[in-house]
Amino acid sequence: MGSSGRYVLGRPGLFLAIVSLLFMASVTHGIELDDVYRMSGSFRVCVEDGLRVYFPEACNPVMPRILSTLRRVRDRVMARYADQGRFEVSVILIDHDDREGSFSDPKFDTITISLTEEIGALSTRGYSFEDRFALRLSNLLILRALGPAKIALKRRLGILSMPPWFLEGLALYNAFPLDALHVSRLYDMARSNRLYSMDDLSLINSRDDLVREEMSFQAHALMLFLHNRSRPDAGYRLLKRIAQKPIRFDELFRQEFGLTLKEAFREFSSFVQAECRRHECRDRKAAPSAGDFGGGRFYQGLRHSRADGAWVWVSSANRREETYDLWRLPPGAKGARGNARTILRNVHPSLLVDQKSGAIYIGRYFVNDLRQRRLELWCVPLKGKPFPFVREAGSFRPLVIEDGRLWYLNITRGMTIVKSVALEEPSTPRIEFEFPPYLRPLDVAVDAGRGELLYVLQDGIHRQLVSIPLPAAGETKAGVPRLPTARILHSADGMIRYPMVWGSDILFCAEVENRTLQLHRIAGGASEAVRLTQIPGGVWDYTLGPDGLPIVVTLQDGGFRPVLADLTAPLTDLGTATTSMFDNRSFTASSTACPPSVSEQVQSVPYKPEYRSSFWLPKISRDDQGAVFGIYSYRADRLDRDRIEFSPTYGFKSREWGYTGGYQHRFGLFRVNTAVEDRIVRKSYLSNSYYERVRSQDFSFSYPFSLSTSITAGVNLTHRGIAEYPDKGEVPSVGRDHSLYGIMYHRAIRTEPFWQIFPRKGREVTASWRRGTSMAAGELIYDSFGVRWNEFVPLGCTNWVATLRGWFAEDDKQDEIRRPDDLNLGGSDFLRGYSGSVRYGDSLRAASIHLGRTIPLSFPWLRAWIQKEIVVGEAFWEMGDVRTQGREFRYLYDHGFEVRSRWLLLRRIPLTFRAGVAWPHDGGMRHSYVAFDITTLSGLVQ
């Protein structure tokens, strides 16, 4: 090899450092490498009343309130699943801004949920802690009704036998009643004739966030409609019958609900249209547009700055999920949105504009030292770069500017605190009001003029808007008024959101009789609220424009849009009566005005490793060129800090038994892994197939630089032998292949359905280094490193995506050894116009350009088996070469076309298929290839 290769390889640390800087220069749409970082730190365990709760030690003061909420929700939801009343619910609490909000582990029936409510989100991500726990518990109890976690096959077959929308709708129906978010989306779909058919709803698992939520809300309403016309437990009875015989869902559905699936969808559609007309939503004209100030998928926070005449708002226009960016429209801009620009990314939806200076204050997400997302308060000045204004974690929502100080909300360790900080000179934040540990508001506003604090409380389906006096300046926290001095301003069985003080009036949004959010006002000195609007899509945010006209954000045509509201003739208050047929009559409102003070302490003990063991589960994977069948079992610590795995395997091609095993332990952010292997696998060397006997031991440790980037370093001791020689051709060197290695991996790809086979935007980079060593009598000596870089670039607003790929690698060897992982091109990765290993050697350079898009193909005749199919067509142009010592690079070129497809077989199991054809540029014969991934078949039984 040339000297340049040896020069770089002599400094692997410098090489990896340079690559790491390139990785961390771009912090974009990251995908978490491992969820384990959500559960870092010291934990405690509490067991009582059918609950087993694991919580961060710092959250101990608020645990009486949390346990009270968990008990209340457990009792309410368990009433829907009466035969599971003895089930002990395991809950893991985390204390940071986890965007997932909550999730379930179906293998061990555990719920992980964040204590942090995402105040202001427009989707179910904005649900309260209570509602998220109810939904996750309902999901878990449905799985338990199908079969125990120990018998994974029975539970999986039950899931496969039912449409996914049925499970989604039933879980929501048993968790809580329809709310304004659900009904507003439903009415919006009805007005624009977008109600989903039965076949449409079968695609729910393959849709992005907004569409999936629409589908789940329709499924929720459908379940309510069906249960109201049959019996309250019909869905659960059907579930239990499916658990006994996981077949004939259509027939069992008809027996329990009294009509077929097609009849159910037809009658439900007619019912929704009638309800829409009854509440004057169908024929009511949409409110006039407020102007071209954005709008669409997730949009709110439209504000005007008198300081310079600009408009600002938050929107997910550049995203495929509910992730907000801050947008600004300069004053006097014509053509509006085309001149709007993103000025701050990855922000919280609540913002405040300083009308004097024009500065914008808004919460922004960052990743803390524990690799967890938190919020901090940022300032975006009229001139200059945005900068963090308050670095305290959990500080995110600006409330008001009063006497030269910015009041804001801080939520940490389950506590809600109102603080303030001087605008002009940075100073230590001052606590203005600290909510007691037993009280957690859903929303907060400050009435500085009257010295009051407004907040929203939840107790089951009942919510209240409450006012409480603020302590005098300098008053000690012991003098903070307690709940007996609270004044209830408004109560409702449904959502109350966005309280705001406007002059002497109080404005807020609350559900009305048709289950939509409408704007209400409590005039100064008045004791009752008056409803101001009756907008079909509801009111999801509001502000006043420079001309004094009110602007509201409403749901219209599948997105959130700013419109003008007519407040000249306030509507008569109709109270909080709920006459909609969408009422869930089996849910009753709580009569508790305010939650009582909870003073008792929680009895808990420090967390010690608790291991959960799996039973033997089937496993289907593959080696380089063949299927590998086997079984596996593992023992995992409850917080995933220790894990032991063992898996006997059987090679379908090699027909030989083997095994793999591993142990993982985590020290803070560091993860230590050990692995052993003894098996026979089929491999290919220079296009010649052979069977290799691999016996190896591996020790490594990993560290995450960010949520998207990690580094792994380790040592590997491998003994390679030939179990079966090929009929002809060369085989690689055998012997003791011992090595030191390092790998840096970066993946920041925009998440959306099926991103694994067709990423639309982002980057994936792998940098690796390995050195053969003579330690422990190692025989194969070499130096190797490589970088693979994939860049995915969307082309404007079209469905086309350009992909740029590059591969650079060096492999210096001694004594003419031939490594099993020798550098080579040709086959189905790079240089696909040539058969396998057309180029091989010690130094590789390759690059390619791809242009692809999804192809609108479907296979209706397979719909009974395939829930969703996605087909991607991609044209490519490639170049590359691998040279040996003493030969200059002589690049080969080709171009071709590839089709990739992923199907959700039986509505759940992803199968991937690749096929392509390419033409070499040197006049050779075209080369075609086919690849089929069966690895995910393991999902059938796991």
Tokens of 166: 């049925």
SS3 864: coil
- Asked if the model's pLDDT at residue 197 lies above 80, the reply is yes
Q: What one-letter code names the amino acid at 514?
A: N
pLDDT score at 87: 87
Q: What is the pLDDT of residues 626-656, one digit of tens each?
A: 456 677 777 888 888 888 888 887 777 666 7
Report the phi/psi class of residue 185: left, alpha or beta, with left for phi > 0 and alpha for psi in -120 to 50: alpha
Answer for the pair 296, 315: CB distance below 8 angstroms, yes or no: yes
Q: What is the pLDDT of residues 464-481, one digit of tens each?
A: 999 988 887 655 444 344
pLDDT score at 578: 41
pLDDT score at 588: 55
What percentage of the chain exceeds 90 in pLDDT? Answer: 33
Residue with the bigger pLDDT between 272 and 448: it is 272
Report the DSSP beta bridge partners of residue 663: 644, 674
- 533-537, 581-585, 739-743, 862-866: which has the minimum mean pLDDT? 581-585
- Asked if the model's pLDDT at residue 36 lies above 90, the reply is no
pLDDT score at 651: 72
Fill in the DSSP letter of residue 189.
H
Half-sphere exposure of residue 75, counting CA atoms within 13 Å on the CB side? 7
Q: What angle do helix axes 129-146 and 164-175 make, rounded to 10 degrees? A: 130
Output the CA–CA distances (angstroms, integers) from residue 281 to 184, 269, 542, in the order listed. 10, 15, 20
Phi, psi angles (nearest 5°) of residue 273: -60, -40
Answer for the pair 11, 575: CB distance below 8 angstroms, yes or no: no
Dist CA 206 CA 902 (whole Å): 11
Q: Which helix (H) or strand (E) covers residue 182, if one does?
A: helix 180-191
pLDDT score at 138: 93
With CA atoms as reference, report the closest residue to 942 among 320, 193, 297, 155.
155
Phi, psi angles (nearest 5°) of residue 485: -90, 0
- Asked if the model's pLDDT at residue 563 lies above 70, the reply is yes
pLDDT score at 580: 54
Tokens of 141: 């109890």
Answer for the pair 353, 326: CB distance below 8 angstroms, yes or no: no
Q: What is the pLDDT of residues 593-632, one digit of tens each?
A: 344 445 567 889 999 988 887 766 666 665 544 456 677 7
Segment 740-756 shows an average pLDDT of 85
Q: Is 511 exposed, middle or buried (0-12, 13-18, 19+ CB in 10 A)?
A: buried
Report the DSSP beta bridge partners of residue 50: none
Answer for the pair 942, 156: CB distance below 8 angstroms, yes or no: yes
Answer for the pair 168, 222: CB distance below 8 angstroms, yes or no: no
231-248 as b/e: b if 16+ CB within 10 A: eebbbbebbebbbeebee
Q: Where are the beta strands (DSSP E) in 668-761?
A: 670-685, 688-704, 709-724, 735-749
| Beta strands at 517-522 and 505-511: parallel, antiparallel or unpaired | antiparallel
Dist CA 529 CA 523 (whole Å): 8
Cβ neighbors of 383 (< 8 A, separation 6 or more) are none
Segment 393-422 shows an average pLDDT of 92
- 119-128, 147-156, 455-464, 566-575: which has the minimum mean pLDDT? 566-575
Cβ neighbors of 214 (< 8 A, separation 6 or more) are 185, 189, 196, 558
Q: What angle do helix axes 164-175 and 234-244 make, rounded to 10 degrees? A: 130
Report the DSSP beta bridge partners of residue 43: 56
668-671 CB contacts, 8 Å cutoff, 24+ apart: 668/40, 669/37, 669/40, 669/370, 669/371, 669/703, 669/704, 670/701, 670/702, 670/703, 671/34, 671/36, 671/701, 671/702, 671/703
User: How many CB atoms within 10 Å of residue 319?
Assistant: 21
pLDDT score at 540: 92
pLDDT score at 725: 80
Tokens of 466: 């409450």
Answer for the pair 166, 219: CB distance below 8 angstroms, yes or no: yes
- Asked if the model's pLDDT at residue 343 lies above 70, the reply is yes
Q: What is the pLDDT of residues 889-903, one digit of tens each?
A: 899 999 999 998 877
User: How many CB atoms within 10 Å of residue 55?
Assistant: 25
Residue with the bigger pLDDT between 36 and 10: it is 36
- Asked if the model's pLDDT at residue 266 lies above 50, the reply is yes
Cα 309 to chain centroid distance, Å, stands at 36
Q: pTM of this prediction?
A: 0.86
pLDDT score at 290: 74
Fill in the DSSP letter of residue 289.
B
Q: What is the pLDDT of residues 353-407, one digit of tens each?
A: 998 899 999 999 988 888 888 899 999 998 889 999 998 888 999 999 988 899 9
Cβ neighbors of 736 (< 8 A, separation 6 or more) are 717, 718, 719, 776, 777, 778, 779, 780
- Asked if the model's pLDDT at residue 10 lies above 50, the reply is no
pLDDT score at 767: 94
Q: Tokens 């990855």, residue?
A: 346
pLDDT score at 322: 85
Segment 531-541 shows an average pLDDT of 89
- 8-12, 124-128, 220-224, 751-755: which has the minimum mean pLDDT? 8-12
Radius of gyration of the chain (CA): 30
Residue with the bigger pLDDT between 227 and 580: it is 227
- Asked if the model's pLDDT at residue 936 lies above 60, the reply is no
Q: Which helix (H) or strand (E) covers residue 130, if one does?
A: helix 129-146
Segment 223-238 shows an average pLDDT of 90
Q: Where are the beta strands (DSSP E) in 750-891?
A: 762-772, 782-794, 801-813, 823-825, 839-841, 843-855, 866-883
Confidence of residue 332 (pLDDT cuts 50, 70, 90): confident
Confidence of residue 278 (pLDDT cuts 50, 70, 90): confident
Q: Is 747 exposed, middle or buried (0-12, 13-18, 19+ CB in 10 A)?
A: buried
Segment 675-681 shows an average pLDDT of 88
Confidence of residue 2 (pLDDT cuts 50, 70, 90): very low
Sheet containing 550-556: give its strands across. Answer: 541-544, 550-556, 559-564
- Asked if the model's pLDDT at residue 320 lies above 90, the reply is no
- Asked if the model's pLDDT at residue 69 lies above 70, the reply is yes
- Asked if the model's pLDDT at residue 780 lies above 70, the reply is yes
Confidence of residue 26 (pLDDT cuts 50, 70, 90): very low
Answer for the pair 175, 210: CB distance below 8 angstroms, yes or no: no
- Asked if the model's pLDDT at residue 836 lies above 50, the reply is yes
Output the CA–CA distances (angstroms, integers) from residue 790 to 213, 793, 795, 806, 935, in the order listed. 32, 10, 16, 7, 23
pLDDT score at 509: 93
Cβ neighbors of 328 (< 8 A, separation 6 or more) are 310, 311, 312, 340, 341, 343
Q: Where are the beta strands (DSSP E) in 282-386?
A: 299-304, 311-315, 324-329, 341-353, 360-367, 373-380
Confidence of residue 344 (pLDDT cuts 50, 70, 90): very high
Per-position DSSP letters for 195-228, written without gaps between them: ---HHHHTTGGGS-HHHHHHHHHHHHHHHHHHHH
With CA atoms as reference, report the closest residue to 555 among 142, 180, 902, 847.
180
Dist CA 289 CA 146 (whole Å): 49
What percentage of the chain exceeds 70 in pLDDT? Answer: 84
Q: What is the pLDDT of residues 509-528, one digit of tens each?
A: 998 877 889 999 998 878 88
How high does pLDDT run on average in the chain? 82
Angle at 568 between CA 562 and CA 569, to 5 degrees: 115
Q: Is 528 exposed, middle or buried (0-12, 13-18, 19+ CB in 10 A)?
A: exposed
pLDDT score at 575: 40
